[in-house]
Amino acid sequence: MKRMLKVNPSDAVPIWKQIEEGVRRLVASGALIRGAPVPSVRTLAKYLRVNPATVAKAYQRLAGAGILKVKRGEGTFVEDEPPTLGSEERSNILRNGATRYASLSITMGVDRKEALEVFNSSWRKLSGKGEKAPRCFMRVN
Amino acid sequence: MKRMLKVNPSDAVPIWKQIEEGVRRLVASGALIRGAPVPSVRTLAKYLRVNPATVAKAYQRLAGAGILKVKRGEGTFVEDEPPTLGSEERSNILRNGATRYASLSITMGVDRKEALEVFNSSWRKLSGKGEKAPRCFMRVN
Amino acid sequence: MKRMLKVNPSDAVPIWKQIEEGVRRLVASGALIRGAPVPSVRTLAKYLRVNPATVAKAYQRLAGAGILKVKRGEGTFVEDEPPTLGSEERSNILRNGATRYASLSITMGVDRKEALEVFNSSWRKLSGKGEKAPRCFMRVN
Amino acid sequence: MKRMLKVNPSDAVPIWKQIEEGVRRLVASGALIRGAPVPSVRTLAKYLRVNPATVAKAYQRLAGAGILKVKRGEGTFVEDEPPTLGSEERSNILRNGATRYASLSITMGVDRKEALEVFNSSWRKLSGKGEKAPRCFMRVN
DNA sequence: GTGGTCTAGACCACG
DNA sequence: GTGGTCTAGACCACA
C-alpha cells in the first residue's frame, strides 16, 4: 500500500491539489491517525521537492475543509472528527467519476466484466487490502 | 440520458475538454451513429456559443484518438470502428481510468461495494441496455 | 506489389497530392508503360470515390511536370520521355527525406541497423522486388 | 550541423510542425541536453517572430510525445529519458517513417543503393559520431 | 461549404 | 516569471 505522498509536477492537476487529495486519501484510508500531527509545511515541501507555498496552500484548504487543524505555535494536526459532505454533492461527485470511467471503458470497447476487474485491481493496490501494515503517520523521509 | 452537448465556460475543466468528453460519451452511448457526420466546427461552435478554434481542438484530439474521422473539405464524422490500440497502451489507459475512480472513491470514504454499485448504474445508463432510445445524430439546435 | 492506386481522405496530405504521388510512383516503378493511356478523370474519380475535380488537379500537375500528356479528344497518356529534375533540387529533397527518417529513428532510440532493416522491408513492399508481375496499365476496377 | 531553430512562415508545412520537428532533431542530435530547460514559450516565440500559441502547440505535442516535460509554473524541459512506447506502436511509427522515405525515393527514381547512402550520411550527421560538438541548450538569441 | 492555421491580445492558475 | 486557455477575426487549401 502506498502510504507515501507522491507528487508529479508534470501532471495536469495542480501540485497543491495532488497534495490535498493525497492527504485526504491518507486520512480516509486510516493511514493518518486522527489527532496526530502531520509534517510541517517546510518539511513536507523539502521532501516533495516542491515550493513551500504549494504545500501551504494544500494545508490551508484542508484546514478549511475540516480535515486538518492548525494549532498556532504547535503545528498542524489531523482533525479529530471527520468532516461531513452534503450527500447530494457526494453522490454527484461519485456518479461523475463512475460515468467517466464507464464512458472510457465503453468507448474502448471493454466489456463490463473486464472494467470491473481492472477497477478491483486498482482498488486493491490503493487500499492495500489484505496487508497488515501498521497504522502510521505521514512519512516524509 | 443526456443527448445534448452542453458546456460550462466557468468550469475549471477546459471547454475543449468538456466537448471532447461530451462527444466521447455520446459515441459511447450510441447516440452518435458510427460513420455519421458530427456538426461542423462552426455549427457546433455557434450552438455552444464558443470559439470555433475551441471546438476544432476537441475534434482534432478526438480524431487523434480514433473517435472521429476528418475528411478534409467534407466534414467530420464518427469513426466507423472503435479505435484499435496497442494492447499495452490500452490497458494502461484503462488502468489509469480505474485508478482515478478508485482513488476518488477512497478519498471520499466510499466503500468498494458502493463504488461498484454506482459504477454499474452509470454503465447501464450509458449502454442503455433494454432502453428503446432512438439513435440520433448530435443535435445542435 | 501495390499497383492499385489508393487514397486516404483522412490523411493530412491532400488527396490530389496522394494521387499525384501515386501516379509518379507507378510511372517510376514501371507499372505504367510510357505512352500508354491512364484512366479518364471521371473513371478514376469514380473508382477512388473522390471528386473529379480532385483527380483533374492531380492530372494537370502531372501534365505540367511532364509526367502525363493530355491529348485533347483522345485522353491522357504517360509521357514518352521521363522528365528531368534539377540535380541539386533532387538531392535536397532526398536528403530531407532521409534526415527526417533518421531523426525519427534516433529520437525513438532505434539503432541504425534496425532502421535500415525496416527501410529495406518497406522498400521491398513498395517496389515488389522478386515479383514477376506483368507490366500493366493503371487498373481502376 | 544546424543547431539553430529556424522557421519559414511561407512554407506549406505548418509552423508548429516545423518547430516540433526542429526540436525533435535537436534532441535527437544531442544538442539539447536531457533534463535541461528549453526556451520559454514566449522567448522562443519572440525569437522566431511567431505567435506564442504556435510555439505552445508544438511544445504541447512534444510533451505528449514524451520528448519534452512541462513543469507547471516552472517551464519546459527536455525529458530525462527517451519516450517508452508500446512496441506495436513503436514499430508502426517506425514503419511509417521508413515507408515515407522509401516511397519518396522510388517516386524520384532513386535506386535503393543511393537511398541507403543518403540515409547513412544523414544518420552520421545527426548522431555526430566522432564529432566533438559541444553540447548546448537551444539558443534563442 | 469544410477543416486548419495563425495572430493579437486577453485572462487565469501555478510556483 | 511560467504554461494554458479562450476569443475574434483573418487567411488558406480542399472538395
Name the band, by pLDDT with cuts 50, 70 and 90, for residue A141. very low
pLDDT of residue B121: 95
Judged by 3 or more CB pairs under 8 A, whether A touches D is: yes
Measure in Å the smallest separation between the Cα of C127 and chain D Cα atoms: 8
Are D108 and D68 spatial neighbours (Cβ–Cβ below 8 Å)?
A: no
Q: Is some CB atom of chain C closer than 8 A to the CB atom of B70?
A: yes
B 46-75 residues, CB < 7 A, strand E: 52-53, 56, 59-60, 63, 70, 72-75
Name the band, by pLDDT with cuts 50, 70 and 90, for residue B114. very high
3-state secondary structure of C141: coil
Q: What is the pLDDT of residues C100-135, one digit of tens each?
A: 899 888 877 789 999 999 999 999 988 764 444 444
Task: Tell the residue number behind the cell numbers 496487508, with chain if given.
Answer: A131
Residue A3: pLDDT over 80 = no
Q: What is the pLDDT of residues C4-53, one digit of tens each?
A: 688 888 888 889 999 998 888 888 777 888 888 999 999 999 999 999 99
Q: What is the pLDDT of residues A48-85, one digit of tens each?
A: 999 999 999 999 999 988 889 988 888 899 988 766 76
Q: Is some CB atom of chain B closer than 8 A to the CB atom of C53?
A: no
Q: Is some CB atom of chain C closer than 8 A to the CB atom of D51?
A: no
Residue D133: pLDDT over 50 = no
Q: Is some CB atom of chain C closer than 8 A to the CB atom of D17?
A: no
For residue A14, give the chain D residue with the closest CA: D72
pLDDT of residue C119: 97
Chain mean pLDDT for chain D:
85
Residue B43 CB lies within 7 Å of the nucleic strand E: yes
For residue D97, give the chain C residue with the closest CA: C101
Residue type, B2: K
Chain mean pLDDT for chain A:
83
Residue D50 CB lies within 7 Å of the nucleic strand E: yes
Q: What is the pLDDT of residues A13-35, one digit of tens each?
A: 899 999 998 898 888 777 888 88
Using the beta-carbon criterion (under 8 Å), do B87 and D87 form an inter-chain contact? no
Phi, psi of A90 (to 5 degrees): -55, -50
CB atoms within 10 A of CB C119: 25
Q: Is some CB atom of chain A closer than 8 A to the CB atom of B139?
A: no
Measure in Å the smallest separation between the Cα of C109 and chain D Cα atoms: 7
Residue C85: pLDDT over 80 = no
Give me the CA B25–C1' F6 separation in Å, rounded.
24
Q: What is the pLDDT of residues D76-93, one digit of tens each?
A: 999 988 776 677 778 888
Are A67 and A25 spatial neighbours (Cβ–Cβ below 8 Å)?
A: no
Which nucleotide's C1' sits nearest to the alpha carbon of D38?
A: F2
Rg (alpha carbons) of chain D, rounded to whole number: 16
Q: What is the pLDDT of residues B45-91, one digit of tens each?
A: 999 999 999 999 999 999 999 999 999 899 999 998 877 667 777 88
Residue B134: pLDDT over 50 = no
CB-facing half-sphere around the CA of D14: CA atoms within 13 A:
11
Question: Which chains pack against D, by 3+ Cβ pairs within 8 A?
Answer: A, B, C
Q: What is the pLDDT of residues A97-122, one digit of tens each?
A: 999 899 888 878 889 999 999 999 99
Using the beta-carbon criterion (under 8 Å), do C106 and D29 form an inter-chain contact? yes
Measure in Å the smallest separation between the Cα of C52 and chain D Cα atoms: 23
For residues C86 and B81, the model is more confident at B81
Q: Where are the beta strands (DSSP E) in C22-95?
A: 68-71, 75-78
pLDDT of residue D45: 95
Name the band, by pLDDT with cuts 50, 70 and 90, for residue D136. very low
Residue B131: pLDDT over 90 = no
DSSP bridge pairs for B77: B37, B69
